[in-house]
């Protein structure tokens, strides 16, 4: 099936404070963000036309930029309003929302203190990928060769574009092997996350998840932990070694794109998607559904 390239689509994109026709939202080839990775972004979803946890994403967007030593030139409130405007103008109900900020073309060297900071907000159609019956079959994960870096070597708590380079490589390798994604270890060989999602395991009714100290403490991750605790399910954030995977019953990943997705296999380890995964899928679906839609 042919998929229309992202630069050839119709609609509008919010660029530096105003809506512009989709195909006119461009940057120069000598933009610093392209050459040196000085760019941050967010991944968000709208359900029923309402962006889930929009403010939390805008706050993280600001923090990510600060960690890369630049400042987003719009307030949290301005960003939230702009995101809502783009979703509404493009006429989406269920969609992905992508704010992105980058250093411009005034300087082309490692140092770029005087480069203009540009901000764009884009949206595209992206409904939930699977119903619960399909999700409960679980996906298969490879184990990546690349590892999440030592926090002393990279701004790991920033959603920075450059930190996803090894994720793209790892996901490509996994997909060529027939897997859906890859689980990454950290620089010390401990379980970390997937290429674009956080990971959880269950054992004897308790949820275990790696400590988010060298990768993003995802907004979806925080939501899932909260949902589990509301259910009275214990959640333990701890160091997890790869050899422990054989002892877990269930495994699932979560993120803006993945939502809550069970896992059936990680390399040589197998899991059986069960009640905890199903419960959290259902609870997450209810959590992201606008209250007006639930009442209808």
291, two tokens: 């209250």
pLDDT given at position 296? 47
pLDDT given at position 144? 98
Sorting pLDDT into bands at 50, 70 and 90, what band is 132? confident
Sorting pLDDT into bands at 50, 70 and 90, what band is 280? very high
Ordered by where they begin, the domains of the chain are 6-125 (3.30.470.10), 132-288 (3.20.10.10)
State the average pLDDT for the chain.
95
Average pLDDT over residues 76-82: 98
pLDDT given at position 133? 87
How far from 201 is each of 76, 210, 279, CA to CA, in Å? Answer: 34, 9, 14
> Is the full-model pTM beyond 0.85?
yes
pLDDT given at position 2? 54
How far from 43 is each of 57, 134, 176, 181, 261, CA to CA, in Å? Answer: 8, 24, 25, 18, 17
Average pLDDT over residues 102-108: 97
Average pLDDT over residues 186-196: 98
pLDDT given at position 16? 98
Average pLDDT over residues 145-166: 98
pLDDT higher than threshold 80 for residue 128? no
pLDDT given at position 294? 56
The number of angstroms, rounded, from the C-alpha of 17 to the middle of its chain's C-alpha atoms is 24
* Contact of 215 with 193, CB cutoff 8 Å: yes
Q: How many other C-beta atoms are found inside a 10 Å radius of the C-beta of residue 178?
A: 8
Average pLDDT over residues 286-293: 80
SS3 content of the chain, % helix, strand, coil (to 5): 30, 30, 40
Active site residues: 159
Sorting pLDDT into bands at 50, 70 and 90, what band is 177? very high
DSSP code of 246?
G
Average pLDDT over residues 72-89: 98
Per-residue pLDDT of 192-234, as tens digits, reads 999 999 999 999 999 999 999 999 999 999 999 999 999 999 9
Helices (H) and strands (E) in the chain, counts: 8, 16
pLDDT higher than threshold 60 for residue 1? no
């Amino acid at each position: 099936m042919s998929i229309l390239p992202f630069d050839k689509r119709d609609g509008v994109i919010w660029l530096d404070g105003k809506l512009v026709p989709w195909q006119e939202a461009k940057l120069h080839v000598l933009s610093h963000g392209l050459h040196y990775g000085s760019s941050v972004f967010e991944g968000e979803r709208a359900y029923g036309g309402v962006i889930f946890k929009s403010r939390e994403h805008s706050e993280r967007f600001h923090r990510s930029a600060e960690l890369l030593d630049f400042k987003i030139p719009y307030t949290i409130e301005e960003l939230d309003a702009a995101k809502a405007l783009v979703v509404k103008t493009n006429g989406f109900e269920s969609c992905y929302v992508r704010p992105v900020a980058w250093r411009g073309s005034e300087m082309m060297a490692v140092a770029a203190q005087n480069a203009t900071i540009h901000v764009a907000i884009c949206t595209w159609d992206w409904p939930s990928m699977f119903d619960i019956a399909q999700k409960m079959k679980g996906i298969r994960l490879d184990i990546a060769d690349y590892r999440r870096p030592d926090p002393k070597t990279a701004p790991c708590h920033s959603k920075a574009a450059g930190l996803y380079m090894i994720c793209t490589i790892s996901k490509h390798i996994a997909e060529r092997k027939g897997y859906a994604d890859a689980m990454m270890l950290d620089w010390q060989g401990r379980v970390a996350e997937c290429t674009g999602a956080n990971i959880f395991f269950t054992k004897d009714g308790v949820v275990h998840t790696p400590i988010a100290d060298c990768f993003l403490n995802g907004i979806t991750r925080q939501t899932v932990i909260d949902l589990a605790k509301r259910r009275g399910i214990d959640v333990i954030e701890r160091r997890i070694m790869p050899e422990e995977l054989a002892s877990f019953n269930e495994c699932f990943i979560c993120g803006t794109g993945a939502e809550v997705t069970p896992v059936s296999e990680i390399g040589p380890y197998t899991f059986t998607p069960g009640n905890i995964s199903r419960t959290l899928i259902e609870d997450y679906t209810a959590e992201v559904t606008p209250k007006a839609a639930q009442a209808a």
